[in-house]
Each structure stands twice: as C-alpha cells, then as structure tokens.
Amino acid sequence: MAEGQQSTLVSRRHFLGFGIAGIAGLTTLSPLSALASAPAVHERALAFQNLHTGESIKTVYWSRAGYIPEGLKEINYVLRDHRTDDVKVIDPGLLDYLFEMRRHLGTARPFEVLSAYRSPRTNAALAQRSRGVAHNSLHVRGQAVDIRMSGIGSRALARLAKQLQAGGVGYYPRSNFVHLDVGRVRSWGI
C-alpha cells in the first residue's frame, strides 16, 4: 500500500465492528462536502475492473495539487464504451462520489464496472431493447456508472450512495448492480 493511502483507509476490523448496518446512520452529506470535512488526504485513488473488457486499473486521480491528467486519462479509457471503444471524459465529480463511497466502506477493492460511458449510438440501441435505459442517459455525458463490488452487497452500496445524497441511485437486485450518477438527487429500487 502506498504511503499516504494508509491514513485514508479504515481497518477491516474497525469496519466490521460497526458493520454494514451502520451505513444507515451516516450523516447526510454530498461527496464533495464530505470530502471537505473528512480527515486530510494527500491523494485520492480508485480501482476499477471493467467486467466486459477484463481490464483493471488502480490509479491516483487527485493530489493536493488538483486533478491528475494522466490518472484521469487512464480512468477515462478503462470506463470507455466497450461496444464502440469510444472514450469520453468521466466527470470528476462522479470519481469523487466513488472515492467517498470507498472511504466510507474502508476498502481499496475495485469497483466492478458493468457500464460507464455509453456513446449515443450504444445508448440508443440499448434504449430500443429495454425500457430501463433512459434516452437522455447521464451515461452518455460521462456522468453515470453501473457498479458492484466483490464482498459487499449491492443493496449496501445502494443504501450508502442514497445516504450520501450526491445524485441518482438505482438498485437493480435481479442484475446485482447499482447505478450511480451525478445528476439530481433521486433514487429507485432501494
């Protein structure tokens, strides 16, 4: 583990001590305000595993000097539209939202990504096949991601995200994933 990351992680023992049930008692904060009130961190790192391409990444995307272009570029590539290989800038606010979730969970496990950026063509094709795909999806803007995390139930992830009040949260139990976006605060399926 890199120096500086140790202070941002809660030990597994401590996390298990208050358990997933403790998530319901979290203070309602947006991720950005929660980051501002959190203990000082020297860097923000995220790990992703793209379930469609098999690619994995663990990268620092922010330091005290600001967002790190190379880290953001790496994330943008791994979260690209896997159907077309189109790459889009992922909203840094979405990354901060995911970092805040990781911080609350006390884990450095990768987010398993089912869908992040979708090209307009991909989104239109998916919307034709499913009523659950929005025609004006925030995925097209790089402002949404569908995730799960090994060892942590999707329902717990959804409840935590809802508590953070940072955007949209959808829970899809049959497909075992959580939709997160940085649009207006709303939730479904939870």
Asked whether residue 19 is assigned to any structural domain, the reply reads: no
Q: Is the pLDDT of residue 19 over 80?
A: no
Q: 133: pLDDT confidence band, cut at 50, 70 and 90?
A: confident
Res. 21: pLDDT tops 60:
no
C-beta separation of 163 from 178 below 8 A:
no
Percentage of the chain lying above the pLDDT 70 cut: 78
Q: Tell me, yes or no, whether 106 lies in a domain.
A: yes
With respect to residue 148, please indicate whether it lies within any of the assigned structural domains: yes
pLDDT at position 127: 76
Total domain count, the chain: 1
Residue 20 lies in a domain: no
Whether 79 is in a domain gets the answer yes
10 assigned to some structural domain: no
**Domain assignment present for 158:** yes
Averaged pLDDT score across all residues of the chain = 83
- DSSP H helices, the chain, are 12-18, 31-37, 69-78, 92-105, 120-129, 154-164
The model's pTM is 0.78
Range of the structural domain that residue 126 is part of: 30-188
Q: Please report, for the domain that includes residue 84, its CATH number.
A: 3.30.1380.10
115 strand-pairing partners:
146
Mean pLDDT score, 132-146:
89
Of the candidates 84, 100, 78, 121, the one whose C-alpha atom is nearest the C-alpha of residue 28 is: 100
